[in-house]
Structure 1
């Protein structure tokens, strides 16, 4: 027998408590089990068991070897399972949660290509901005934007979440363009209500870190509404580039305070931890990583 088989028999003897019990569990004869353990000891040049007619116990060397063998056997099993999963055809229902605006603008357009690549996957795509509990609500995966809370979930970065301060050309023509973040205190700012510290906008620039408390007549929990009102000359907004990029490209909005940087966060695919990543989750995450592996300004 090879080394791994001999290790497996040795571990089984320890777990079962005797050579005869291990032989029954392995469908071998007690003498065959004894011979394999004896050969293992000969190869190692060390005694693994203290044997008496009524009792079997591990030696100090045996205890250390047992712990190493257990880990080796687990690693081998996981490696074999991982390879099997790589070759398994991704199939089954893939339940995903995605923020509404990001899903509508950047995920749904990729679905036809993904489904053509993996026809045995059935996609259950939920667009909602509510924070969902993946484990209790049965989601395989979610896309989340911003800083992640500490958790046991696995996170894989898809793209940077660059945020920019924007206004319409007409608004700037009428009210003037701010030159410094503190100038925003004298402007009508559109507030995204779902953002933590929604009235406090943070900047980094030539003078270091800046914290500006902004205010305005309109506050909403929908970023697309903020973008629409910005385009309609209602004020200045702080929004992610993935949302406002097309409007900037079409000159409906312009970036203001270009010398000041709003601290970036990121866009992640998150999924529950497990011994192995299921093929359907793995291929979706890999597909999305490939699609978003573009220059930082690719959202414009």
Structure 2
């Protein structure tokens, strides 16, 4: 059997987790799909897929083989397109790792527009909040909000858009504790702390260049911004959040700015991916799309009147 065809069949099964789904995509019968996979397994002397009547999953060897095979096929498609001067419609599953706060109406609207433009690309989004190993775990790219000097030098990073953070709290909490008028008024307030801000109660206020320090009471510390957001809505304390994550709550009055304009701080959202000679079409169009979105006038959600 043709090994390149078998590679494409195997990658389709791995992406769709289905023999019948791979068959429909490639115009093959489930029996022929199975033969191609068995051909590869026989050639390698290793099982690539775990199969049950209801579930298909990659073995450890299968995951390693899939990651390498997909890079080979993506690169081959790019080379053939360049040689023939044709345009290949990007397709397939784009595995993406992203911060928890990507799960917001602001980004879902962007993903919907991306889907309208590229209907043959499906998004598989991991929101665990951990720093994934892109190559070993088979991710195409990750979205990371950080500074350029904290990025791994072994990866490629493309800036997409600014991420503006603000200090927020519920009206109920501020009615109960008082509304700070100066930075020093934050002293002793309850803080819903993101894990990346450290563990000490005394810390430098983000956005002040380390000039201003306050001591606050950490009520909850987590690497998951969603739990901090929900705790702020319950009136448990102050929280730093990306503005777009809390936009509907700000507009509805469920949250309000604390010391607005005094120390907003921002970082950059990067698309990071392993260095490859040939970048797959689905990754390239996603990065280009998000970069264009980042240039739009509402990228940082700097709307007046909030």
TM range (shorter): 0.5 to 0.7
Moved over 6 A (4+): 78-81, 83-86
| Equivalent in the alignment of 1:182 | 184
Give the secondary structure class of the aligned counterpart of 1:217.
strand
| Equivalent in the alignment of 1:133 | 133
TM-score, L = length of structure 2: 0.63
Do 1:203 and 1:211's aligned partners in 2 also have CA atoms closer than 8 Å? no
What is the CA–CA distance in structure 2 between the aligned matches of 1:125 and 1:186, rounded to whole Å? Answer: 38
Match of 1:247 among 246, 249, 274: 249
What is the CA–CA distance in structure 1 between the aligned matches of 2:87 and 2:232, rounded to whole Å? Answer: 49
Structure 1 residue 285 and structure 2 residue 287: aligned? yes
What is the CA–CA distance in structure 1 between the aligned matches of 2:152 and 2:115, rounded to whole Å? Answer: 32
Gaps of 5+ in 2: 1-77
| Equivalent in the alignment of 1:90 | 90
Do 1:189 and 1:214's aligned partners in 2 also have CA atoms closer than 8 Å? yes
Structure 1 residue 297 and structure 2 residue 297: aligned? no
| Equivalent in the alignment of 2:75 | none
Gaps of 5+ in 1: 1-77
- 1:131 offset after TM fit, Å? 0.9
- 1:284 offset after TM fit, Å? 0.9
Structure 1 residue 165 and structure 2 residue 167: aligned? yes
- 1:201 offset after TM fit, Å? 4.2
Do 1:201 and 1:214's aligned partners in 2 also have CA atoms closer than 8 Å? no
Give the secondary structure class of the aligned counterpart of 2:187.
helix
What is the CA–CA distance in structure 2 between the aligned matches of 1:86 and 1:179, rounded to whole Å? Answer: 61
| Equivalent in the alignment of 1:256 | 258
* CA displacement 1:95-116 (0-9 Å, x = unmatched): 2112233135444444343233
| Equivalent in the alignment of 1:218 | 220
Do 2:81 and 2:88's aligned partners in 1 also have CA atoms closer than 8 Å? no
Give the secondary structure class of the aligned counterpart of 2:97.
strand
- 1:134 offset after TM fit, Å? 0.8
| Equivalent in the alignment of 2:113 | 113
Match of 2:156 among 154, 157, 180: 154
Bigger Rg over Cα: 1
Give the secondary structure class of the aligned counterpart of 1:131.
coil
What is the CA–CA distance in structure 2 between the aligned matches of 1:99 and 1:208, rounded to whole Å? Answer: 25
Give the secondary structure class of the aligned counterpart of 2:135.
helix
What is the CA–CA distance in structure 2 between the aligned matches of 1:187 and 1:248, rounded to whole Å? Answer: 20
Number of corresponding residues = 221
Shift of the 104–126 alpha-carbon distance from structure 1 to 2, 3 Å rule, reads farther
Shift of the 109–216 alpha-carbon distance from structure 1 to 2, 3 Å rule, reads same
Shift of the 272–86 alpha-carbon distance from structure 1 to 2, 3 Å rule, reads farther
| Equivalent in the alignment of 2:205 | 202
TM-score, L = length of structure 1: 0.64
| Equivalent in the alignment of 2:100 | 100
